[in-house]
Structure 1
Amino acid sequence: MIEVFVAYASGNNFHGEMIRRAAEAASNDGRKLLPWSERDTSGFPISESVEGWIQRADTFIGDISVVNANVTYEIGFAIGLGKPVRLIRSTHLPMKAVKDIGLLDTLGHDEYGMEASLVKVLGKRDQSTPWPDLPKNRDQPLFVLQPNNPTDWSLRITSSVKKIARLRYRNFNPWEISRLDAREAYEKATSSYGVIASWVEGTSEEIIRNNERAAFIFGLARGRGIPARLFAHETTRLPLDLQDQATRWFQFSDIEKAVRSFRDEVADLQHDFVQTHSSKASILELVSCGDPTAENEAAGLGHYFLETEGYQRALNGEANVLVGRKGSGKTAVFLQVRDRTRANKDNIIIDLIPDGYQLVKMKEFILDQLALGARKEVIAAFWEYVLWLEIAYKLLEKDETRAYRDPALLERYQKLETLFQSRVDTGAGDFSERLRRLSERIIERFQKAAPAADTKHMDSSQVLQVVYGRDLHELRETVSDYLRVKGFVFFLLDNLDRFWTPGGFTQDDALIVVGLIESMQEITRKLTRRHLDFRWAIFVRSDVYEFLIRGMADYGKLSVQSLEWSDRDLLKMMFETRVTSGTRVEMPWDDLWARASTSHVGGKPALDFLVDGSLMRPRYLIRLFEIARRRAITFGRERIDESDYFAALKELGWQVIEDLDREIADLVPNSADLLFEVLQTGVGLTAHKFKYIAGKRLPDPKIVDKLLDIMLWNGSLGVVEGPSTKFIFDCGYKRQYLAALITADPDAPLRIHPTLVAALT
């Protein structure tokens, strides 16, 4: 007797009754369909009962007509167990909520209308394409699903993973990539030795997205026997399947304790796991273009990294501000410069990836309590204090063992250690945690130094005294003396575009970045006078730099390097190198590509189709190929065909729309979702028409002009010139050129990028 477990959401009695009747009608002597509601749960925790039912069943059917975390968890659990899984959906219920989540809508499903058609669907053969067995990632063994917005507790989880578990991890960060489909979630979870997710309380669209992802990934891990933690606050109520399985925390020490026990479980699996290689694996299961997020492949990035001019200039200390659009490869350059320079053990490499959330309280205090002149002083003093302390922290961390073996170094080390510990501003933890503590201490000192009404009248000496707590001179001198026995110092700061709050990036946020740049320049002057080699490079989004920072910083004294891509052949070379290096079989590129992919898509070479769809951003190029590859595997194909590429472009299009809409909202207040309105225009769009549409939401004509500039810059719009369309990457990222075309002919047609159009067709 074949048993089929049928999962569906409770809450709609009519729908539930129909499924129960249809399941009974579709059952026969050799095959019985068992809806979850027909099972007896008395005396057992719900989660144990459901998991037991799914384990005992031969196959699984999940109804995804509505978004439901219990069903999503059960689907993940069944897939993790390796059960044949089929999905069904009612055509009487809208698909929008499921599509907005972006998780299960990309999987094949059967549709039904009324009861008769449901009986027919439930009676179909129980078979589905098996999900592949993937090799474990030994270099970065953990996968962390980041919540939609960072919080003190979510940052404490990642800090604990770094400092307590001491394991390298990959992550999905919704601020970097907006969509995570089921196939990618499967790869990230099942290739890991441990999985961490967080359940967030709330009902917003972003929170529901996070919780659906968490339920699915947690289910996958549970089904595969992979150590997993689903963190939730003690007072949060979860869906029944997850209520008793979540790792509860009430205070931060609970999180740290849970991570310690989790570390031991991960270590046990790493020790016991034996990797097997299937001789039946298809070429598509052996091919990979890697992860679109550089942090997730930091350990292996050096094998296929393409050394561009921007990388060489950063490596040699010739470029201080490196700018590029999201997904252009800034973090990849950051990681490679870090790894190459720290190969020399005498060099002091301070690589920091700050999280803007930690500066929110500090920024709010500066804006609310300090006069404009004092704001600039506080920001500059704050950054100089942070930078000197981080140099000291890195020296102490790097020489912790060596100093006590080297008498010549020990005296310097102990002096620096005493000075550092006497300040106790930064404490332990990762940089985000140290930054949070320092911000809070400085705010406390301001509040003690003067009532709120008087902080705006503090003079420069008072401001510096409050920020530093005590004179910074001795710390600077001690650090400088210590550096005489070292190589060069290289400060690398990535993700500076995360400094703003969800409301967008303002002039005040730009002040924080400009203050950082000026502090770097000041430290460079101080150390250069002592004949010490100090280098620094910060990485920031090009649109943020172009529209906000560039006008505020002393542009003439900055060495700025663009990391944008305009050479199609170079981007193709990058792609070929990644695929060749990431494939678990050796063969010439032409043979590999012929076996893995159709040669042409829509009448053009497949590689050109990929480059065209990527908006010249490596992240989108990688993602477009990987979506198509995973889809082909799901349908059991030997190689990627045209339909896979077109479906992948449509799926990527939704992610690009969400990403670009967020980029626009970061720079133009009250412009959220305006991109969607422009997209509805379709053909016939001109600058005049664009300004009319945007002007209904944004009354200031200057803001509308800025919006058009930003949309030209990010590549969502191009200007038709004769028989072709010029996008920003077709003219060397010179937005002045596109602006000149529009000025010369205000009625010149504007074209929406085809990748965005694909999402709507």
Structure 2
Amino acid sequence: MSDRPFKAFFAYPGQPDELVSTINAAAKRINATGKSSVLTWPEMGVFGTVIPDDVRNNIADAQALVFDVTRPNLNVYYEAGYAIGLGKAIAPVVNRSFDNALADIQRDGMFDNIGYRSYENSEELADILSGLPETKLLDLYSRELDNQQPLFVLDTLRKTDFRNWVVSAIKSSKVHYRSFDPVEVPRLSAVTVLSQVSASSGIILPILGDHIDDAKRHNLRAAFVAGISHGLGRQTLLVALKRFDAAPADYRDLITPVVDEKSIMQVVGTFSQQALLAGQSIKSRPGKGTKTVLQSLTLGSSAAENEFRTLSSYFVETSEFLRTLRGEVNVVAGRKGSGKTAIFFQSRDVFRAEKGAIVTDLKPESHQLSLFREELLKIVDVGAFDHSLAAFWYFLLLSEVLLTMKRNLEYRSRVDSRALETLREIDRVLDSYQINESGDFTTRINRLSRFVVQEIDAAKKRRQSISPEFLTNIIFRGGINDLKKMVFQYVGHHDRVTLLFDNIDKGWPANGVDEFDVRLVRLLVEALDKIKRDFLAAKREFLSVVFLRNDIYEMLVEGTPDRGKAGQVRIDWTDRAKLKQVIFKRLQASAGATATNFNELWQRFFPESVANQDSFEFFVDHCLMRPRFLINIIENAISNAVNRGHSKVAVEDCIDAVRQHSLYLVDDFGYEIRDVSGLSAELLYSLVGAEKVMARSDFLAKFIEFGLSAEEADKAFSLMLWYGVLGIRNKDGKDRFIYDFEYSMKRLTAEAKVLGETARYVTNEALHVALAT
């Protein structure tokens, strides 16, 4: 064993002074002992040199990086990521004497499952520095390169034009990607980042201006991801709209400024192709074969968008999926994380494999129909324009079908002269109505809505009356009959056109779902039904399925006169055996196991019981009966075990996994409630420290104390019952939530009426874990 002192580099922000002085004192104290050599960044001797290069060189020269996250700092997060990417040990520390420091780091979740140490003074910090870790996260959590989806994108909370242009440019490049979307998953852990970046040949990181909502949090994540990517030597694109003057020194010169959609298309498109080629030269790291079975275990991504290439190997064919394949439904509704998008991707792949299939799959990343809405709402009696809105959808959807037919013909036209002739005719019709494939569907839906808005503005300047007929003519532009004729001419009697539409409710305003938004969805479904009738009249087959959030669908049904008209299926998980099958298949796929017994395979990796109950049931009790949440909790437990050097997941790993996920859920449900109601995303924090079981009036009092009106408090209470955040304690003393009543609010409220004034409501344990600590 070497007598040389353990060498570490300490990264921390230059302010506040009290934090800096404590760190410097601790470094001097430990250096004086000779046990460790801790270099702080002011001692680097950077006069006249390039600071970022010196910082990176010092990190490369150290055995470990200590970094302080008491007050999050872009440079520090970048340096932490860079150290991880280089394969260095890391030691996050936080000064718990600073107000909200511990709460902030727990809430952010970045370092929840890799462990951090807290201190109050230089003596305690020096004690931490005397026993720094030697564990290298890169050895534990790096993944093999994903050649099918080689790009990783750090998505933004707000789907601005800048963000939409970046995503559209990636899609136009035809290079598949994975992403982290804070709308879907509010918390991003270091383990997730490392696994995603190591599996990628290219990383795309939009950098946001301070004026954009959630920019501070997003840019911290971007700094951390960029550091890991640079440490690993991956192709990395940091892209900002115009010049980003506030960028930190460590990577300021590495940010590529763009000015508009055209420059983004060029920069991002070129980068995506270069990253694809770079993947061919990335080799597996030496020593990766020494991973334990637990280190190699993964349940796959909880977001179907990030696993659609591998989903088929462990997809559970539910009755909802089979009904979709049989064409029995045209709406699939489910709560976030219930598996709607998994059915979307798996159905698409099955339909594509059918002979004579023409499959149009639409997933707008976000859309700007709000512009369309704002203009229409300025017109009196907007309901009179329903026909125009239906026309908007009809024209858009039929043009997307024709574009799909064009793409199918492009390959055949190389060897088939008839296909080439058909392709030319389709191109002629599309060009005549200015329909082209530039960008993706998001771009095209925005383009059409902007065109309509521009025409409305032009008509106003001419003092022309804006009638429904005028608006409909703008949308059709005289071309609807030509599009139909072209489709019917080249779709055979034995062919089937299938149109799948997901994400229509993604990117909607955070101030609550508007009546207009629900109307747009209703008219979309009606337009698809009209297309189907037109196909039947032409003796052609057409199948469509729209995938919606359950809350949006319920609002849709309430506003629809003929409620039983639309065939629909709801993905409501009430069967624990079905959830067990989801995990069983993923375990089999990851471990390469042929075990036919769940308990036998489960107990290879997990303890038999936790908190005096079956360990799997313990996880299910904290997942609110959603597959995504269950997968996330189990992945957290695996990460905890790996980080602690366990050969098998231990009881404490499971308990901490539930705590970590509970913190995530408080944020996640806050966003869900905000998005559908317009209430504050911070609302659930009103229950911090509250009793788990209370009367309805007690919960309402907490909400009013938080700042809601009596009416808003009542609305919040009902929403929390609907989401399963709150439940009811029945006369037998059992806690029952909406999923225990087959997701029927009527049945749940009926239970409350039976109990009358004695009714007591309960905060779901899945969230109470976080709210009680």
* CA distances 1:229-248 after superposition (whole Å, capped 9, x unpaired): 11123322211112112222
- Matched letter for residue 593 of structure 1: W
Q: 1:285 to 1:666 in 2, by over 3 A?
A: same
| Matches for 1:746-757 after TM superposition, within 5 Å | 746-747=756-757, 748-757=759-768
| Matches for 1:217-366 after TM superposition, within 5 Å | 217-237=225-245, 238-275=247-284, 278-344=288-354, 346-366=356-376
1:35 has 2:40 as partner = yes
Q: 1:239 to 1:472 in 2, by over 3 A?
A: same
Q: Which shifted more, 222-231 or 666-675?
A: 666-675
State whether residues 369 and 452 of structure 1, in contact with CA within 8 Å, keep that contact through their aligned partners in structure 2: no
Q: 1:99 to 1:466 in 2, by over 3 A?
A: same
Tell me which of 83, 86, 93 is aligned to 1:81. Answer: 86
Q: Secondary structure at the match of 1:351?
A: strand
Paired position in structure 2 for 1:90: 95
- Matched letter for residue 466 of structure 2: M
Q: Following TM superposition, by how much is the alpha carbon of 1:59 offset from its aligned partner in structure 2, in angstroms?
A: 2.2
Paired position in structure 1 for 2:584: 576
- Matched letter for residue 739 of structure 2: F
Q: 1:467 to 1:203 in 2, by over 3 A?
A: closer
Paired position in structure 1 for 2:455: 445
Q: Following TM superposition, by how much is the alpha carbon of 1:737 offset from its aligned partner in structure 2, in angstroms?
A: 0.6
1:645 has 2:654 as partner = yes
Tell me which of 110, 121, 138 is aligned to 1:114. Answer: 121
Q: Secondary structure at the match of 1:148?
A: coil
* CA distances 1:303-336 after superposition (whole Å, capped 9, x unpaired): 1111111101111111111111100000000000
Tell me which of 381, 385, 389 is aligned to 1:375. Answer: 385
Q: Secondary structure at the match of 1:505?
A: coil
Q: Following TM superposition, by how much is the alpha carbon of 1:23 offset from its aligned partner in structure 2, in angstroms?
A: 1.5
Paired position in structure 2 for 1:26: 30
Q: Secondary structure at the match of 1:719?
A: strand
State whether residues 87 and 136 of structure 2, in contact with CA within 8 Å, keep that contact through their aligned partners in structure 1: no
Paired position in structure 2 for 1:388: 398
State whether residues 426 and 435 of structure 1, in contact with CA within 8 Å, keep that contact through their aligned partners in structure 2: no
Paired position in structure 2 for 1:214: 222
Q: Which shifted more, 52-61 or 112-121?
A: 112-121
Q: Secondary structure at the match of 1:376?
A: helix
- Matched letter for residue 340 of structure 1: V
Paired position in structure 1 for 2:20: 16
Q: Which shifted more, 633-642 or 498-507?
A: 498-507
Paired position in structure 2 for 1:521: 529
* CA distances 1:522-544 after superposition (whole Å, capped 9, x unpaired): 11111111111100000111112
Q: 1:264 to 1:694 in 2, by over 3 A?
A: closer
State whether residues 129 and 634 of structure 1, in contact with CA within 8 Å, keep that contact through their aligned partners in structure 2: no
C-alpha distance in 2, partners of 1:683/1:590? 32
| Matches for 1:389-404 after TM superposition, within 5 Å | 389-403=399-413
- Matched letter for residue 122 of structure 2: E
* CA distances 1:58-103 after superposition (whole Å, capped 9, x unpaired): 3221112211111111011001111121122222213233333321
Q: 1:116 to 1:700 in 2, by over 3 A?
A: closer
Paired position in structure 2 for 1:681: 690
C-alpha distance in 1, partners of 2:660/2:320? 31
Q: Which shifted more, 346-355 or 301-310?
A: 346-355
Q: Following TM superposition, by how much is the alpha carbon of 1:429 offset from its aligned partner in structure 2, in angstroms?
A: 1.1
C-alpha distance in 1, partners of 2:708/2:146? 48
Tell me which of 641, 646, 652 is aligned to 1:632. Answer: 641
Q: 1:335 to 1:219 in 2, by over 3 A?
A: same
Aligned residues: 757
C-alpha distance in 1, partners of 2:25/2:761? 55
C-alpha distance in 1, partners of 2:652/2:381? 60
Paired position in structure 1 for 2:204: 196
C-alpha distance in 1, partners of 2:378/2:114? 49
Paired position in structure 2 for 1:490: 498
Q: 1:143 to 1:58 in 2, by over 3 A?
A: same
C-alpha distance in 1, partners of 2:335/2:616? 22
Q: Following TM superposition, by how much is the alpha carbon of 1:499 offset from its aligned partner in structure 2, in angstroms?
A: 5.3
Q: Following TM superposition, by how much is the alpha carbon of 1:756 offset from its aligned partner in structure 2, in angstroms?
A: 0.4
Q: Which shifted more, 479-488 or 73-82?
A: 479-488
State whether residues 713 and 735 of structure 1, in contact with CA within 8 Å, keep that contact through their aligned partners in structure 2: yes
State whether residues 109 and 664 of structure 2, in contact with CA within 8 Å, keep that contact through their aligned partners in structure 1: no
| Matches for 1:550-565 after TM superposition, within 5 Å | 550-552=558-560, 554-565=562-573
Paired position in structure 2 for 1:58: 63
Q: Which shifted more, 672-681 or 599-608?
A: 672-681
State whether residues 331 and 494 of structure 1, in contact with CA within 8 Å, keep that contact through their aligned partners in structure 2: yes
| Matches for 1:128-207 after TM superposition, within 5 Å | 128=135, 130-131=137-138, 132=140, 133-164=142-173, 166-202=174-210, 206-207=214-215
State whether residues 499 and 509 of structure 1, in contact with CA within 8 Å, keep that contact through their aligned partners in structure 2: no
RMSD: 2.3
Q: 1:130 to 1:152 in 2, by over 3 A?
A: closer
Q: Following TM superposition, by how much is the alpha carbon of 1:723 offset from its aligned partner in structure 2, in angstroms?
A: 2.5
Gaps of 5+ in 2: none
Structure-1-length-normalised TM-score: 0.95
Q: Which shifted more, 676-685 or 30-39?
A: 676-685
Q: Following TM superposition, by how much is the alpha carbon of 1:174 offset from its aligned partner in structure 2, in angstroms?
A: 0.6
Paired position in structure 2 for 1:406: 416
Q: Secondary structure at the match of 1:556?
A: coil
Q: Secondary structure at the match of 1:401?
A: helix
1:127 has 2:138 as partner = no
1:744 has 2:754 as partner = yes
Q: Following TM superposition, by how much is the alpha carbon of 1:575 offset from its aligned partner in structure 2, in angstroms?
A: 1.0
Q: Secondary structure at the match of 2:367?
A: helix
- Matched letter for residue 21 of structure 1: A
| Matches for 1:534-545 after TM superposition, within 5 Å | 534-545=542-553
C-alpha distance in 2, partners of 1:130/1:427? 43
Q: Following TM superposition, by how much is the alpha carbon of 1:678 offset from its aligned partner in structure 2, in angstroms?
A: 4.2
C-alpha distance in 2, partners of 1:553/1:70? 57
- Matched letter for residue 109 of structure 1: Y
Q: Secondary structure at the match of 2:298?
A: coil
